[in-house]
Amino acid sequence: MIQHKQLENGFEYIEISNEASQAKIALQGAHIFEYKRKGEEDILWLSETSDFEKGKAIRGGVPLCWPSFGMNNPDLPQHGFARLGMWKVARSQETDSKTTQLVLELNETPESLKLWPYRFHLELRIRVSDTLCMELTTTNTDEREFKITQALHSYFLVSDISDAAVKGLDAKPYFDALSAQTCVQKGDVVFMEEVDRVYQDVKEALFLSDKNRVIKIQNEGSSSVVVWNPWIEKCSRMSGMKEDAYLGMVCIESANAYGDFKILKPRASHTLKALIS
Ligand code: BG6
């Protein structure tokens, strides 16, 4: 079932339900804010105190950072503007009883052109099944080339941050955004303090292991992965987040960030894909 719903304040979202899974996707930002397999716990973390209103990013789920990751382009707002844009449903399809597909699209607007002077076509293809597949395709519809950095900024639910570990990054170089140093990962990534890192040269699948489950993340079109947990102090000053929220979440972001930027010539496309299983 694919239902178009709205909250009392007019905030619109699409609710998907099939025999294998369910998901909710806000039109603002093409933001997936719920995904779970039938009868199981949520895969994505969503803040209990998140805003659901025009002009404010949902805290949790999968915000889209585009056309700039973080402050990679200092002329743009943090994480770009696509997460606050009003996307349109281009297509939807119930492929079989366990699989639903939804395609959302965003083009330049007079406001986006003021921030970033390029015409573009963005498409997010979402496949909701016993796995969650997200493919974000950027097409340059301008006459000049442009440069993007981006991320599928997935927030994952963990039972307790002290049991969480990200596997698959051993020996990978990373840029530590906290110290501004480049370091090399030793073993699994575990969380005992604030972590804000951009791993490089990542082609292999990653695994988020927790007390009760293991989530696999396989990216394509990307060689950078951001791992982030705000920990105590940053969490207490973040919007839409309770003080202790850092205990139950970890972000593993499928990215084209920092040196892994993409330059697109007119009419060229690039797809960033993440498969979560
Ligand atoms: C992460 C960054 O990708 O996003 C963090 O690495 C940042 O530094 C976090 O704090 C959340 O960003 P925002 O803009 O959603 O508060």
Q: CA-based angle 43:155:16, to the nearest 5?
A: 50
Catalytic-role residue among 34, 108, 135, 253:
253
Query: Residue holding tokens 């099939």?
Result: 18
- 237-250 average pLDDT score: 95
Domain that holds residue 195: 2-276
Catalytic-role residue among 34, 153, 193, 243:
153
Query: How far is the centre of ligand 1, averaged over its atoms, from the C-alpha of 216 (Å)?
Result: 22
How much is the pLDDT for 72? 95
Structure tokens that stand for 71 in this block: 């402050």
Query: Residue holding tokens 């969503």?
Result: 46
Contact 16, 29 (CB under 8 A): no
- Nearest-atom number in ligand 1 for the CA of 57 is 15
Active site residue 79: no
Q: State how far the alpha carbon of 71 is from the alpha carbons of 32, 67, 91, 276, in Å.
A: 23, 10, 32, 26
How much is the pLDDT for 226? 98
Residue type, 105: E
Query: How far is the centre of ligand 1, averaged over its atoms, from the C-alpha of 260 (Å)?
Result: 18
Structure tokens that stand for 214 in this block: 């293991």
196-214 burial: b if 16+ Cβ within 10 Å, else e: bbbbbebeeebbbebeeee
- 105-120 average pLDDT score: 98
Contact 66, 84 (CB under 8 A): no
Lowest mean pLDDT among 236-240, 245-249, 262-266: 236-240
Query: Could you report the per-residue pLDDT of 52-76, keeping only the tens digit for each?
Result: 999 999 999 999 999 999 999 999 9
Specify the CATH number for the domain of residue 57.
Answer: 2.70.98.10
Does the pLDDT value for residue 242 go beyond 90?
yes
Structure tokens that stand for 175 in this block: 């840029």
- 132-156 average pLDDT score: 98
Q: Is the CB of 226 under 6 A from ligand 1?
A: yes
Active site residue 270: no
Least Cα distance to 26 among 87, 102, 79 occurs for: 87
Number of domains the chain contains: 1
Query: Could you report the per-residue pLDDT of 156-166, keeping only the tens digit for each?
Result: 999 999 999 99
Does the pLDDT value for residue 212 go beyond 90?
no
